[in-house]
Structure 1
């Protein structure tokens, strides 16, 4: 295949805001009288905000009113935004800028497909917003990962067919979304975990752009 675009997930691929999500979700769980561990947090990887809260409630076999559900979502997001307010270009993973530069040099488009509704805010803080040719909006798609919607939406935004795109993800739900979209899937992390990926690199910095383009 000759790739015309790389579509990146944000959290865990370009930067690590997972710790901030963990702190905010843990506070939400504690408010509900529930325990919330790092292991529990792993289960929320790649899942959107609504789905994440539902998983926490399901774990505690709890149900809340629609109004309370919305209130918890708003509070969690406000807490998360306070935590990431100080994020800056130093929070970018090593090798990301080199990777983007290599893609730009080859005339390859760069897209962002994040489950986070705060993605645009985060990439702006990281100082890389202008490097993207298209930033997908998680709020504008009907179904979140593992559904392919966000990746298909970004491909469309880039003016390309899904088969012309390579998706890069660190979460199982994200890799499933890439494959469901009909794209080549690059996993970032453990091969034993990201079994659906076509190829896996330990970190984004170790991703071999030339190998993927040949």
Structure 2
């Protein structure tokens, strides 16, 4: 893939634009405690990029209690988690944008690259509003309209389609292993933000959002 072939960018939200993954983790930790599932960093990492119901099912599978939860019970638990998360999101400000991301988005706009958001979070539009970044995004994929969540490629394939681009014309940016898998399966170029050993399947890896620049991407391609 050549840099000159790239025509659009598709970004995840959590851990790429802002550390909302920390807020998700705080909310899920309370739910895990409620269903008596031991909480640990590995579980928090496994939940990154995963949809709401899939996250709850993962927490329940990791639990020690062999209780069968009905669909109604699960819906109630996910709604409780979402309420906790929204309370945290409402306290966000532009100061919560990760270092270098505002500058990166400015450079994409200056160079006329369309941008889509591909987040598993249904609250992504609210987060962008709190961060004052809504106007940067030409399209936002609605996860409620998708059949499958990450690592399925549907969300990133949909992002490319909404931008009117072919997958091979897009770069996807993620901080989770399941997200990188989704980008690659969609036929797009993947950029991982974070530890290389976690995001080993990414085509390009940056340890920190400060390194995410068009110039650095061009050098890596």
TM-score normalized with structure 1 length: 0.96
What is the CA–CA distance in structure 2 between the aligned matches of 1:65 and 1:185, rounded to whole Å? Answer: 38
Please tell me whether the aligned partners of residues 22 and 38 of structure 1 are also in contact (alpha carbons under 8 angstroms). no
Q: Counterpart in 2 of 1:149?
A: 154
Equivalent position to 2:54, from 31, 51, 66: 51
Task: Please say if 1:137 is aligned against 2:134.
Answer: no
Please tell me whether the aligned partners of residues 3 and 213 of structure 1 are also in contact (alpha carbons under 8 angstroms). no
What is the CA–CA distance in structure 2 between the aligned matches of 1:211 and 1:40, rounded to whole Å? Answer: 32
Q: Counterpart in 2 of 1:198?
A: 203
TM-score normalized with structure 2 length: 0.93
Unaligned residue ranges in structure 2 (runs of 5+): none
Which stretches of structure 1, 4 residues or more, deviate above 6 A after TM superposition? none
Q: Counterpart in 2 of 1:113?
A: 118
Q: 1:162-213, CA deviations, whole angstroms, 9 ceiling, x for partnerless residues?
A: 1110000000000000000000001101111111100100112211312424
Superposed CA RMSD: 1.2
Task: Please say if 1:125 is aligned against 2:130.
Answer: yes
Q: Counterpart in 2 of 1:161?
A: 166
Please tell me whether the aligned partners of residues 101 and 212 of structure 2 are also in contact (alpha carbons under 8 angstroms). no
What is the CA–CA distance in structure 1 between the aligned matches of 2:94 and 2:209, rounded to whole Å? Answer: 16
Deviation of 1:34 (Å):
2.4
Task: Please say if 1:210 is aligned against 2:215.
Answer: yes
SS state at 2:17 partner: coil
